[in-house]
Amino acid sequence: MIGSINFLLQLRKSVIEDCYVIYIVSEDRSEAYRLFAVLNDRGRELSDGNKLRSDTLELLEKHEKEQILTENNWDTILSYPVTDVEQFFRNYYASHQGKGAAKRNLAETFRDDIFKFPSGVVLEIADTEEAKKVSHTISDIKNEQQVFIEISELRWPYRDATASDWQQERLQRLIKVLRHTLCIPLLLSVYHCLSEKEFIEIIDILERFAFRYITIVGGHAEKISTIYYDHAKLIRQAPQEYKIPTLRNKLKAVEEKYAHDETFESLLIQKLSYQDNSSKKIIIRHFLTTLEDHVEWYSNGANGKPKPNEISIFDLSKVTIEHIYPHNASSASRIEEIELLKNDIGNLSFWPGRNNNSAGK
């Protein structure tokens, strides 16, 4: 009881002595909006999502049906953490506009380029089609956010999937193992405009490219972001005319210039050298299991497009790396010449964790 009374006394003191009311008069709507955006109830600048929400609801002030629908969609969009929402907005913007969004003033950039109206505008009652267009755009944003979440959280975005389990797992390899999130705007465009079969094919192209150019050679993202963004926009503009080989050829040109065979081969040995480093180990597991997937195709002459064996799916969290020549050889079996090479990729294999542990006993 005493604690509650003390709490109420502190609250009374804060309200009476430490609170201030600021009264500001403005006759300019856009100026009032800017004040609202900064001087809100928590003293923090509003998130970009909240700014856009405020803008669009104000825009639809005279269109009750569209405004209610839009408000509900915004509630769903903004129900996720602020940083996740901002990341989605940037990916959505790049996918639609074919360029990255400004680092600052994301809400203004988004409003100008996606919604295409200035701050403080209210659509007139006669502007029915414009109101429906705004409402439809926000509904589309909500739907694309769900796909973004699926991809970001490594789930196959198609409900009635035709892709095999092996093909679906390559999305996880691309986003989680190779950490190649730069391609997500492109994947959003592919999902919404092309077929699942084409989505699978582009995942395959991106996985091979990301491993070679970024993971092994360490190429700069700036050189490929323009390619991804350009193709994301091209797909949305003319999906029926889009040809996947144009993307493959663009990325192939980057490989030939910055990640040619000699560079790739030398760095492959260096980057896949065994170390007690979890991030490097998972790349080694990825490489060795991918080789295993393609060993039958290679043994049969490696003709045409690489064709993996999709029967087995390796869980990289359970796969362990095994040294063929022992990592810690006994003095009796130690071979000095091989000691220098024992951590090279040529001396590494993989086993399921249970088998490896049994062999070590």
pLDDT in tens, 249-259: 999 999 999 99
Does 119 score more than 90 pLDDT?
A: no
Same domain, 285 and 234: no
Burial of 251 (0-12, 13-18, 19+ CB in 10 A): buried
* Structural domains in the chain (count): 3
Does 19 score more than 80 pLDDT?
A: no
Same domain, 186 and 218: yes
Compute φ and ψ for 61, nearest 5 degrees: -55, -35
Among 23-32, 89-98, 287-296, the minimum mean pLDDT is found in 23-32
Does 40 score more than 60 pLDDT?
A: no
Asked if residue 61 belongs to a domain, the reply is yes
Same domain, 277 and 341: yes
* 105 three-class SS: coil
* 85 or 12, higher pLDDT: 85
Asked if residue 36 belongs to a domain, the reply is yes
d(CA 49, CA 57): 12
Last residue of a domain, one of 264, 281, 303: 264
Asked if residue 233 belongs to a domain, the reply is yes
Most confident of 2-11, 119-128, 210-219, 348-357: 210-219
Same domain, 25 and 137: yes
Same domain, 190 and 123: no
Residue 314 is part of which domain span? Answer: 272-359
Asked if residue 23 belongs to a domain, the reply is yes
Q: Residue 34 has what pLDDT?
A: 57
d(CA 186, CA 184): 5
Asked if residue 158 belongs to a domain, the reply is no
d(CA 312, CA 166): 8
Provide mean pLDDT across the span 52-62.
90
Q: Residue 39 has what pLDDT?
A: 56
Q: Residue 361 has what pLDDT?
A: 45
Provide mean pLDDT across the span 222-231.
93
| C-beta of residue 240 within 8 angstroms of C-beta of residue 195 | no
Asked if residue 159 belongs to a domain, the reply is no
Output the average pLDDT for the chain: 88
Question: What pLDDT band is residue 356 in, cutting at 50, 70 and 90?
Answer: very low
Terminal Cα-to-Cα distance of the chain (whole angstroms): 64
Last residue of a domain, one of 109, 127, 152: 152
Does 120 score more than 80 pLDDT?
A: no
Q: Residue 88 has what pLDDT?
A: 97
Does 231 score more than 90 pLDDT?
A: yes
Asked if residue 173 belongs to a domain, the reply is yes
Radius of gyration of the chain (CA): 27
Same domain, 9 and 71: yes
Last residue of a domain, one of 114, 129, 152: 152
Asked if residue 325 belongs to a domain, the reply is yes
Provide mean pLDDT across the span 42-61.
82
Provide mean pLDDT across the span 86-103.
94
Same domain, 29 and 127: yes
Question: What pLDDT band is residue 3 in, cutting at 50, 70 and 90?
Answer: low
Among 95-99, 105-109, 183-187, 241-245, the minimum mean pLDDT is found in 105-109
Same domain, 139 and 217: no
Same domain, 174 and 255: yes
The label of the residue with tokens 């290679």 reads 298
pTM attached to this predicted model: 0.84
* 8 or 257, higher pLDDT: 257
Same domain, 218 and 292: no
Compute φ and ψ for 145, nearest 5 degrees: -60, -40
Same domain, 233 and 348: no
Same domain, 170 and 145: no
Segment (H or E) for 351: strand 348-352
Residues in a beta bridge with 321: 350
* 352 three-class SS: strand
| C-beta of residue 179 within 8 angstroms of C-beta of residue 279 | no
- Percent of the chain's residues with pLDDT above 90: 65
Segment (H or E) for 322: strand 319-323
Q: What is the pLDDT of residues 123-169, one digit of tens each?
A: 899 889 999 999 999 999 999 999 999 999 999 999 999 999 999 99
Does 310 score more than 70 pLDDT?
A: yes
